[in-house]
Structure 1
């Protein structure tokens, strides 16, 4: 059996949601769905992009807001009350700066040459190339 190579992921959420996850050592995506989280494995790298400060807000941020590594292979559910039972993954978050995406648009394989660069972000979680992950993480001073 061959060992799975490390993968890199871009998760999308408002900055206030990312901040809570960083403080408590977890991530969740796609309004708490489990299927996207099951694609990630222990040791994978993850970066959060936040289009806004608050969910659904008009307070544009368009920045990378967190970077870390998936801690284990457990996907688990929590009760946040009022019938909301989202799934989460544990993440070891790195101490990084929040950085705007715009200066990197022409350097990232994901966005280079695309006028509608944010369109794929609507899926909530997408795989990043190693090049893009390292470029963003370096800009965030994660290395």
Structure 2
């Protein structure tokens, strides 16, 4: 039996919005390795330190949440010179942005705060549930693909 894993991905808000709109995840500047770690049924929460990649305007919020749909990882040509890898994600459409300061008082946050610089890292289920609840995700909700639950 596969155990569900819970992940944080770090990307600017403008890039997260493109992924949510397109139903995909693209992590660590398009690298394949982080996508390989995520398996169907795993959960992904995006944290956005900035509004846009090439801007200093801060966001500092958890900005999207979704579930890995399948195992496929595929290249996507954004230009001739840039062909990043992607994986399909079923994003929760009504997720609320949660400011980082809303969770920094939690003891669990101390365990993960230095990991934000890595771009992709695993978190435990309890910490995931705290963020998911604040983002407004019911742990069971209907999607166009059927009912999603926490996988356990």
Name the TM-score, length of structure 2 as normaliser.
0.86
5+ long unaligned stretches in structure 1? none
**1:36-89 C-alpha deviation (Å, 9 max, x unpaired):** 110000000000000000014210110000000000011111111131000001
Match of 1:120 in 2: 115
- Does the CA-based 8 Å contact 1:44-1:69 persist in structure 2? yes
**Cα root mean square deviation, aligned:** 1.4
In 2, Cα distance between the equivalents of 1:35 and 1:140? 27
- Does the CA-based 8 Å contact 1:51-1:60 persist in structure 2? yes
- Does the CA-based 8 Å contact 1:110-1:128 persist in structure 2? no
5+ long unaligned stretches in structure 2? 139-152
In 2, Cα distance between the equivalents of 1:133 and 1:56? 29
Find out whether 1:107 has 2:102 as its counterpart.
no
**1:74-119 C-alpha deviation (Å, 9 max, x unpaired):** 111111113100000100000201110112112251336x8xx3x3
Match runs of 1:90-101 below 5 Å: 90-94=88-92, 95-101=94-100
Match runs of 1:1-143 below 5 Å: 3-94=1-92, 95-107=94-106, 109-111=108-110, 117=113, 119-143=114-138
In 1, Cα distance between the equivalents of 2:54 and 2:107? 26
Q: Secondary structure at the match of 1:134?
A: helix
- Does the CA-based 8 Å contact 2:5-2:122 persist in structure 1? yes
Moved over 4 A (4+): none
Instruction: Tell me the matched-pair count.
Output: 137
